[in-house]
Structure 1
């Protein structure tokens, strides 16, 4: 059943008011270089004790350098972020990926050479540029709490995996996140290296998520944890609130999106239009003082005339309204 708070939170009223607010937010002067950031109002997306963040994957439809991603966060009033690997690694000087030529064999050889060069770079790169990136974001009012590079797979070297956790720590994050591996020997490997660095590995799931999917990995290492996705969990046919209540101690961050339930087709929709109990989850996090961030992951189609920054800002405002902040 819905709580009194939820009943008073009209989705139609919210969507109308949010569109007005977002128009104001994104009308702020744009900037091209991080030096301008201190002149703008710093973002604040902590509402009633709940940190609302965003994964930078949400801005995939837009230019995605580190300065641009930071600008999007500031414009959308997001004060914390799960940073995808490509932008951070480019900032730190990683070798560029080869352009596709259309020659399958030549492209395969080029990709293999790039993978080897990237592995060598990761094994030897100093953390200085990652620390600079953390400071740049912090100065603008944005905390980096998660890092998701393509360095945690079964084909990556131990040195690359170690790099992922060291880079996460240099960025100020307490977690390096990865898609949930199928092989339990790999979660053991990741958990061991994570423990050595004292940084959590957050395993992310899609519709393969079940109530006990993470249990084996968590038993392997105290640094194996959950990057839970409540939208995908609902689309798989399960109760996200029950899961959060039972497993909150092992959740390091929670991807937040609105999907229809499995019975209703599972579609990704704007917040407030699906079956995912976002309002109830945010209120639960506030009432019980859960400390993991609620990470906006924008996966519904961006409406014509809008863009990813405006849609993320709508999600932030939805969360603020849901929490009565």
Structure 2
């Protein structure tokens, strides 16, 4: 990307300094700023099996895309071997059904996944925080903001792992933690968020069958009441696929939204699609955020069937910028 293309992002650029929600981040001032486009590093998962250091690969990807903000998906800073059997892994250039539909697998996990889960637990609790401080410094030296640490806040997490997630969020100097979680786990985690004084952006999916899932407007509203530190990491693809009024929810709750995941899915719990080919009101969401100058980071997420991540993300970002320019 050219430097002119990067500078053009100033129309929706700026530094996110507050969430407009009455709770400021410890290091930030409180003056709102226009929103920027960043990348959820889940989008770079095709890079995990490739040679080289993953942090270097992500920095290079961001530079090639002309973006300076990311949400750091935990597996992209774990040993890559941990992701080989993940339900969302890219294998031989192909995406899994779990990834194509943005659908975490249901039911008991297979034995190899349970074994890997134990290895992840051991790695988390044995890796010094200095390792993550250095990762944060590497992104900072490259001029890239770690907007949030995307931690797997699952019900099988031990209390020590939950503590670890908050500690790593601080070590990375991320502005918030984001987490795919459940109502039960959100209730259990509320005291941790308060003790660490850390904003948590709750992320949902489109599973409407399980009342413990964060999926419906009511479930998100219920979770927000659990802690003054809770906000929403609003995935518009999952929300629209669930059949809900995405723009209406955005207008009602924008002060509680710390970031939006941009993706395009088909309705009726359908497949992830190239941007503009699904049923998610991506352009209207981008125009609404940009036109209102709401300080909500827009994080693109590449999850449809396509090619290598950087060229696909370049197309996605251009699509989003075109939408923003019409606000």
1:267–1:166 Cα change, 3 Å = same
* Unmatched runs of 5 consecutive residues or more in structure 2: 13-33, 86-108, 208-214
Q: Of 224, 228, 232, which residue of structure 2 is paired with 1:226? A: 232
- After superposition, residues 161-310 of structure 1 pair within 5 angstroms as 161-183=162-184, 186-208=185-207, 209-262=215-268, 266-302=270-306, 306-310=307-311
1:98–1:204 Cα change, 3 Å = closer
Q: How far is 1:106 from its partner?
A: 8.9
- After superposition, residues 1-325 of structure 1 pair within 5 angstroms as 25=1, 45=9, 47-48=11-12, 49-63=34-48, 65-90=54-79, 97=82, 111=116, 114-115=119-120, 117-121=122-126, 125-126=128-129, 128-150=130-152, 152-183=153-184, 186-208=185-207, 209-262=215-268, 266-302=270-306, 306-324=307-325
Indicate if the aligned counterparts of 2:40 and 2:301 stay in contact, CA closer than 8 A. yes
Q: How far is 1:139 from its partner?
A: 2.2
Indicate if the aligned counterparts of 2:154 and 2:181 stay in contact, CA closer than 8 A. no
Q: How far is 1:108 from its partner?
A: 7.9
Distance (whole Å) between structure 1 residues aligned to residue 155 and residue 162 of structure 2:
10
Q: How far is 1:289 from its partner?
A: 2.2
In structure 1, the residue corresponding to 2:218 is in which secondary structure?
coil
In structure 2, the residue corresponding to 1:271 is in which secondary structure?
coil
* Moved segments of 4+, more than 6 Å: none
Q: How far is 1:176 from its partner?
A: 1.6
Map Cα deviations across residues 37-78 of structure 1 (whole Å, 9 max, x no partner).
Answer: xxx999565543221111111121223711111111111122
Indicate if the aligned counterparts of 1:46 and 1:79 stay in contact, CA closer than 8 A. no
Map Cα deviations across residues 87-111 of structure 1 (whole Å, 9 max, x no partner).
Answer: 33449xxxx75999xxx99958954
Indicate if the aligned counterparts of 2:163 and 2:192 stay in contact, CA closer than 8 A. yes
Query: In structure 1, what is the equivalent of residue 101 of structure 2?
Result: none
1:41–1:284 Cα change, 3 Å = closer
Indicate if the aligned counterparts of 1:50 and 1:282 stay in contact, CA closer than 8 A. no
1:132–1:42 Cα change, 3 Å = farther
After superposition, the CA RMSD in angstroms is: 3.0
In structure 2, the residue corresponding to 1:82 is in which secondary structure?
strand
In structure 2, the residue corresponding to 1:78 is in which secondary structure?
coil
Indicate if the aligned counterparts of 1:191 and 1:201 stay in contact, CA closer than 8 A. no
In structure 1, the residue corresponding to 2:232 is in which secondary structure?
strand
Distance (whole Å) between structure 2 residues aligned to residue 90 and residue 62 of structure 1:
12
Distance (whole Å) between structure 2 residues aligned to residue 47 and residue 232 of structure 1:
27
1:113–1:43 Cα change, 3 Å = same
In structure 2, the residue corresponding to 1:222 is in which secondary structure?
coil
Distance (whole Å) between structure 1 residues aligned to residue 322 and residue 117 of structure 2:
48
Q: How far is 1:131 from its partner?
A: 2.2
Distance (whole Å) between structure 2 residues aligned to residue 308 and residue 111 of structure 1:
25
Q: How many aligned positions are there? A: 270
Distance (whole Å) between structure 2 residues aligned to residue 195 and residue 297 of structure 1:
29
